[in-house]
Structure 1
């Protein structure tokens, strides 16, 4: 229950956290009532944000959990329930409105509170055919709240009245008898059903649950539903409230990595001056670590960029941001949908200092020459290299979460990443800076091959995979130089997959073909032929007979780590051919 307890603490530290029994929901319309229940005003709350009109968040009584059931919320709901009007087919709108009316008549009963009396009179007087008189068409299906007209201008809503608060506390009906809460360690009424968590990418629009028991097989010792993992009603509302605050895309606490919705938050030590500023900066730096975008030209963006650059270089961030401490606690939670439930892909409870060091190691692992043209790609851009057609929705399931956890925790990268990248290279023949960087990072972190996994071209690298990748690139260059673009399929298109996995079957064919290509090249660009033959000869000299038991310089197979080095050697050698030669250097200049 560590995850839940930290979320409860995060919720309790929010200065504007809703009170117990309430939750943040987007509300689009306020209905002002006269004391006799007539509609005095209808006020739209939506405001233009970018290209869309967005309803603001408002603290309202916690919503009920409903999928196909007809269950009204208390003192608020969408127009289908409140007014009996919807923009859809409306097959059960009358039933929903009747349930809303019956629920509030039973809940309120006899009362002398002016606001509740006006609300009951409104329910008695209202009929759906009055909608066009008071409301605009675009208000259909918006969430609606009520207020006495004289209090509406002061933003005092019906659900905020003391009489309504008493009813909300008495009518929740979602708790069992008190027990020890596993999230807080305090005794209290246990939540039978936990509130819905909304905003997880790919999840149900009605929300999902981290903790739920919806079949008898999941229950034990006669306990029912939430009793099997006792979490108090207050703690359930708190941890769900925190997640529902973090999960919106504009919250500043959420990034999307593959199918994992990642939320994060910082907690600075109480003795640290300017705690809020320290937390905001560390959260902004973390967001840029994994979801780097083009920063706006603002002082804050520059500050975040400078801090991130210092981390990449291994410099203390404190020199640049003295109000930030490496001891700031940092929490990262990866969530993914799983039918009606929400699965936890990873959970990280660490410090910002440890997080920054692990990120620096990741950047060091991924360093490659020549670098990516876009600078430092975001993690989601690397993940696209593992997907069919480069589409985010095609990223293999679980891979995003497993790789993110490895990066942040400083552990070995998932081997599924290696297999996936190698498979994509064989399928589309593309070996770019991002894929080469992934292969390099994998052999360093997972196989301990550090010296032989260079950032740039290493002519003295003795690893067979690296040498064979370089040799393959040289043969491809010979073909390209001799035949130009008059080739239907290059040797990379035809042979890369087999050459990187079973070299002995392919390289004899490539060697024979390269002799023809070099012969033709000698007639048109003899200087380039000399340079290519020199490169091929230097590589072959390092692949002396005796490297294999049968004295064949080409091994029968290459293991996964050597296949990764094959791709790295190919990338380095291939790009070396495109480096502008210094014509004044007799050792490198072409002899035409």
Structure 2
């Protein structure tokens, strides 16, 4: 089904000729109609972007995958193919083979039924037949792998009317295995491919070091029943081209997302025209849009086309020159709407400050799994050295959002370690903690987005008590203390709340005495809160000591909820008229 959807995606955008790909060209060679070069030099072909960077010029030209050996492309190729030049450390004999292959292909083009009446094809063939290529002055900066675009009187030769049909036949000859059969994609009988005729640019496939193919079986050990090439994946020529074109189009579309340092790229599309941008809602959850979706799902008021439109999501990574499908989802759009609504509900969190957000985008939540830079007061960038962010974090969160799946336990363990190491818990991290707890099959508690006084779970209450002790010390010192209670005990309290709370309760007596001398009402409120929380802990068997992973998350969630409740209370008291 994946191959069929990719082929259908390509069919919906037929702008590019079959077996053509975009690549950068650093040079061009201009000929006249008789095949003579209009300049003795290889002419540079570059452009400068807004930042002053110089690069080659992109052209969508005839290209077929070169798996090994020598195989020329039509009318535009590497320097070593067009002129036979090699690098100082290159192999002259290989460059000569490349030149011979390119000139032979040009002659075949001119002799074909498509090119025999095409002056462009005849001009390119004559350039080599008359030996004009030997008279081109070598550019000192030209390297063997740089692209050369051949033009005839200023017009790119690949745009000649005969180029595309001749090239389609040439690719069929190269890539066909001489066997006919039923195509896996279009379900029609015809000549089948031996290898996929195109590749996806490496820049679109995280982890790929070369342009990558979706299906590549060049050794028996990789294939089913020890078969090679496409023996067990029968695909016809047309569909093979369409699959690669569709995959390239999907991964380069505006609906594709990837982050530096992550192992995958995700792209999505909908089979019908429906106004529901699911990824924008996940990446930038606008409060009004979130409320509209939640109400529509809960009240059963989704548009009827949501049941017929199909949502497709593809997540890929790379390994050298192969595309790895890490996740593929095709489902009715209504199912995705339900899953996204559940994600938004499960990741809702009361912000630390009343002006904060209750929902956080996938990108921000992925960012929050990395290292917090205390001095810069921000998370380490994606792909930055020492960011300590799991390479599959974004992929795991996407899967949880679109499939209503659980978060991997390893992600929660990593997040807890980062919070303990960084000494930092913000709204995005608290949202991740709540999401992990709600989706865990081993956790019976259902933590609320905000403070839940009815939750008497010892770990949750211990987190609240730690926040209450922190708030008391802050009020006593007005924040003017070199090492705070949280600085000393926060990291250890996550795994062993008892030690931190016992010491904090002892210090609280001195803090309360000092606060009574200046702010008696505040001291009464703090003492009442502490007595209530420690009373709950006593009723539940005392302060917990060594705690499980889930209990660590509950402790941090209680800590976050208590702090958010305190700041909301302070804000309301400041807004109340005297």
TM range (shorter): 0.7 to 0.9
1:354 matched to 2:335: yes
Larger deviation: 72-81 or 43-52? 43-52
Task: Answer whether contact 2:297 2:337 (CA < 8 A) is retained.
Answer: no
- 1:61-98 deviation line (CA, Å, top 9, x unaligned): 2332358x655323321345324569xx6533866653
Distance verdict in 2 for CA 1:66–1:574, change over 3 Å? same
Given that 2:309 and 2:332 are in contact with CA atoms closer than 8 Å, whether structure 1 keeps it comes out as yes
Query: What is the CA distance between 1:288 and its match in structure 2?
Result: 1.2
Structure-2 separation of matches of 1:82 and 1:486: 73
Q: Which of 544, 548, 571 is 2:560 aligned to?
A: 571
- Does residue 392 (structure 1) correspond to residue 379 (structure 2)? The answer is no
Structure 1 equivalent of residue 189 of structure 2: 187
Post-superposition offset of 1:58: 4.9
Partner of 1:91: 89
1:120: which partner in 2?
125
List aligned pairs for 1:200-349, cutoff 5 A.
200-219=204-223, 223-248=227-252, 251-257=253-259, 258-268=262-272, 278=273, 281-282=275-276, 285-292=277-284, 308-309=289-290, 311-315=292-296, 325-349=306-330
Moved more, 38-47 or 490-499: 38-47
Residue aligning to 1:298: none
Q: TM-score, normalised by structure 1?
A: 0.80
Q: Which runs of 5+ in 2 are unaligned?
A: 373-379
**8 Å Cα contact 1:197/1:240 also seen in 2:** yes
TM-superposed deviation, 1:347: 1.0
Distance in 2 of aligned mates of 1:3 and 1:380: 26
Specify whether residues 106 and 439 from structure 1 end up closer, same or farther in structure 2 by C-alpha distance, changes over 3 A only. same
State the 1:322 CA deviation: 7.8
For residues 460 and 162 of structure 1, do their structure 2 counterparts lie closer, same or farther at Cα, with a shift above 3 Å needed? closer
* Offset of residue 266 of structure 1: 1.5
- Is 1:106 the counterpart of 2:75? The answer is no
Q: 1 CA distance for matches of 2:509 and 2:135?
A: 85
CA distance in 2, matches of 1:511, 1:8: 67
Partner of residue 172, structure 1: 174
In structure 1, distance between residues paired with 2:267 and 2:53: 24
The CA RMSD measured in Å over matched residues stands at: 4.0
| Separation of aligned partners in 2, 1:388 and 1:424 | 7
Q: How many residues align?
A: 548
C-alpha spacing 1:404/1:583, structure 2 compared with 1 (3 Å) = closer
1:176 Cα deviation from its structure 2 partner: 4.7
Q: 1:414 aligns with which of 383, 405, 408?
A: 408
1:196 aligns with 2:199: yes
Judged with a 3 Å threshold, the aligned counterparts in structure 2 of structure 1 residues 562 and 223 are, in CA distance, closer, same or farther, namely closer
> What's 2:65 paired with?
64
Query: Deviation string for 1:514-565 (max 9, x for gaps)?
Result: 22333333334333222211111121222234x23xxxx1123333322222
Tell me, yes or no, if structure 1 residue 518 matches structure 2 residue 512: yes
The 1:542–1:85 alpha-carbon spacing in structure 2 relative to 1, beyond 3 Å, is: same
Distance across 2 between alignment mates of 1:373 and 1:70: 60
Task: Give the Å deviation of 1:118.
Answer: 1.3
Distance (Å, rounded) in 2 between the aligned partners of 1:512 and 1:450: 33
